[in-house]
Amino acid sequence: MIFHELDTFIRIRQDNLTSDLHKETVRATTILVTSIPKNFLDVKTLRQVFSVFPGGVKNVFLNRDCSELLEMVQERDSIAHKLEGAETELIVSANKLHRKEMAKKTKKHKEGEGETTEFAGGPIQLGENESLVDRYVPQKKRPTYRIPLAKWMPSLPLIGKKVSLHFHEGTVFD
């Protein structure tokens, strides 16, 4: 049965790859060649080598050194992880402070009016330049981290510029 299924799969795959609809797609007309010797890394030379393919060669793209780009991507990912961690810390501390505040209000409300079962806090009113974060987490209690002095250097305690999250109209700034 496995042999029969494999044979059927191969037949269907070959029919699909040789269909007129698939022949014209970029996927069907593009090849990736790796480990090319340095003396062949020239557009003109590669056109000559691969001109034996039916239909010839339309475009040749040479891969470039992307190590700088990879370093920038890694740096971006590192910053994004720090930002996500700081936002998570901020949410946790905001929830903790909010629960404490609500517990105090509930306790005062129960002591003042006897046995009322629920305390409903009204809608949150924000000032003109105040964000929701400002309401729950004071600036001194916000998560911070230090920017390293150099890219190759890790962030160290007491060394480097100390930054924290600042929120303004839905965006996050360092």
Structure tokens at 53: 């393919």
- Domain carrying residue 32: 25-63
- Say if residue 43 is in the same domain as residue 94: no
What residue has token string 């044979």?
A: 7
Entry pTM: 0.47
- Same domain for 98 and 47? no
33 lies in the same domain as 107: no
* 7 located within any domain: no
Residues 59 and 79 occupy one common structural domain: no
Do residue 58 and residue 134 come from a single domain? no
Please report whether residue 55 resides in a domain.
yes
Q: Same domain for 58 and 138? A: no
* Residue 173 pLDDT exceeds 60: no
**Is 107 domain-assigned?**
yes
Task: Say yes or no to pLDDT of 163 above 50.
Answer: yes
Residue 171: pLDDT above 90? no
For residues 151 and 79, membership in a common domain is answered with: yes
pLDDT for the residue 130: 67
∠ CA 81-84-87 to the nearest 5 degrees?
A: 150
Q: Are 57 and 136 within one domain?
A: no
Domain presence at residue 119: no
Is 88 found in the same domain as 41? no
Condensed to tens digits (0 to 9), the pLDDT of residues 119-155 reads 445 556 666 666 777 777 777 777 777 777 887 777 7
Q: Place 63 in a pLDDT band, splitting at 50, 70 and 90.
A: confident
How many domains is the chain partitioned into structurally? 2
For residue 139, give the nearest of 109, 112, 166, 102 by alpha carbon: 166
The pLDDT assigned to 7 comes to 95
Three-state DSSP string of the chain: CHHHHHHHHHHHHHHHHCCHHHHCCCCCCCCCCCCCCHHHCCHHHHHHHHHHCCCCCCCCCCCCCCHHHHHHHHHHHHHHHHHHHHHHHHHHHHHHHHHHHHHHHHHHHHHHHCCCCCCCCCCCCCCCCCCHHHHHCCHHHCCEEEECCCCCCCCECCECEEEECEEECCEEEC
Beta partners for 162?
Answer: 146
**Closest by CA position to 104, among listed 119, 115, 86, 87:** 119
Residue 5 located in a structural domain: no
Does the pLDDT at position 17 exceed 50? yes
Q: Is residue 11 part of a domain?
A: no
